[in-house]
Amino acid sequence: MILVVVFVLVLLFEIKAIKKDIKGFKDSWFLIIPLLFSIVVLGRMFKLKPLYLLYLSIMGFISSLLLIYFNLQYMAKRDNFYRLTDYLLRLSNYYRIYQKAQTAYEKAGLDYDLSPYHQHYLVKSLLEIMQVGETVSHDKTEYQLKRIEYDIEKWIQDTRQYQLQEKQHFQRLMMLIGFSLAIIYLTQKMLHHILEIHRLSSYQNLIFIFLSSILIIILISSKRLTKNWILKEEYL
Amino acid sequence: MKYIIIIIYGIWFYQRKNKARMERRKIKLAFSIWLRQMEVLLAYNTVSVAIDKSIEEAPTNLKPYLSQLNQQIKTNPQLEDSYTNFLKELEDIKIERTMHHLYRYALLGTADVENQLTRIIEENAEELRKHRKAIFESQLSFYSVYGLIPMILMSLIVLGILFIVLTYLMKGGWQA
């Protein structure tokens, strides 16, 4: 119990730390109540004992907190990606107009730190174009900047498309989980005509394990959505 | 016993093949990234200088190959084989074509060759997109395996419930 409380507290601190930078956080809190409620309702539907219901409620509460945490991480990664690509496009545009790196940085926004992404090949190329433009000549900079802007736009497009596809796959997985829940519910409902199966402890254990596994599957697949939007393979 | 040996050999063979394929893919991606950087360097440098300058910032897995190429070019700048032998073990026609154009550009440096090289570099941008999409697709393949888990779980639970009912109806099972 102490471990659970410590875990919840750590999670709440983590959520607090991330939420500062994310605007849409308010929308996430409402997840706790329906998730907790649906877990308990599911337990009731499968006629689980109160003790198992209590366990499920605790697991449901922790899972909902974790889901909020994963959702926040997803939002943070998404915002990071858009902030970076937006900044790169602005930087490139301003450099093309003013042909001065310092002015381009000032116009694009001095508050943004590009250093964590220096090793990404597109960031690196843009910085090199600017450096060569500053030190050698601007003759071919215009063409190269246009090409890099095109590449960045395609990068945004590909990543956005992939993220959408991943979300769709996640939703399909949730549908499959719903489908499996419905089948098991109907199976045990049909068997009630033969015997009151819910009185058997083996049935209680089986359903409890099933519902717990479903929660774990949801958590693992949500965790997958929190991956970084920038591919590590594209770093030098 | 022989089946176990066959299975273990099969797994080992598959893993080895998969590792080699992944390695090839990584080097091809690294080559495309390097060519993207070369585009910037070639604008104001000769080919040999651009290759020399690119080594420092090149993808890690490509550095040994580039150092070797750089060394060969320094020894004999006129030798075409130095360029065309670059990553020859990958047997990739695009890499071979690019290196051939780089050699021609290094040797002739005419506007015509420059245009051809520019076209290849532009094609390379598309190649980079293909690599990116391939990585994304391989990441999505997780769901095709993972999607089976709820179904397998459901089947097991249904079987479990039926087994419970059966043993209950038989008053403790078939031992009785």
Determine the pLDDT at residue A29. 66
Determine the pLDDT at residue A28. 62
The two tokens of residue A86 are 């937006």
Task: Give me the tens of pLDDT residue by residue for chain A, a chain 236 residues long.
Answer: 777 777 777 777 777 767 666 666 665 666 677 777 888 888 888 888 999 999 988 888 888 888 888 888 888 899 899 999 999 999 999 998 988 889 999 988 888 888 888 889 899 889 988 988 888 877 778 888 988 899 999 999 999 999 999 999 999 999 999 999 999 999 888 887 777 888 888 889 999 999 999 999 999 988 888 888 898 888 88
Kindly list the residues from chain B whose CB atom is less than 8 angstroms away from the CB atom of residue A121.
33, 36-37
- The predicted-structure confidence for B158-171, as pLDDT tens digits, reads as follows 999 888 888 887 77
**Cβ-nearest to B143 among A147, A169, A206:** A169
The residue among A48, A146, A184 with the most chain B CBs within 10 A of its CB, best to mutate, is: A184
The dihedrals phi and psi of A192, each to the nearest 5 degrees, come to: -60, -25
Residues B125, A151: C-beta atoms closer than 8 Å: yes
Determine the pLDDT at residue A68. 86
Determine the pLDDT at residue B47. 86
**Cβ-nearest to A197 among B26, B139, B161:** B161
DSSP codes joined into one string, chain A: -HHHHHHHHHHHHHHHHHHTT-GGGHHHHTTHHHHHHHHHHHHHHTT--HHHHHHHHHHHHHHHHHHHHHHHHHHHHHHHHHHHHHHHHHHHHHHHHH--HHHHHHHH-TT---GGGTTBHHHHHHHHHHHHHHHT-STTHHHHHHHHHHHHHHHHHHHHHHHHHHHHHHHHHHHHHHHHHHHHHHHHHHHTTT--GGGSHHHHHHHHHHHHHHHHHHHHHHHHTTS-SS-GGGB-
**pLDDT under 70 in chain B at which residues?**
172-176
Q: How far is B4 from chain A (nearest CA, A)?
A: 31
Determine the pLDDT at residue B57. 84
Q: How far apart are CA A15 and CA A64, in angstroms?
A: 12
Residues B153, A214: C-beta atoms closer than 8 Å: yes
Determine the pLDDT at residue B176. 46
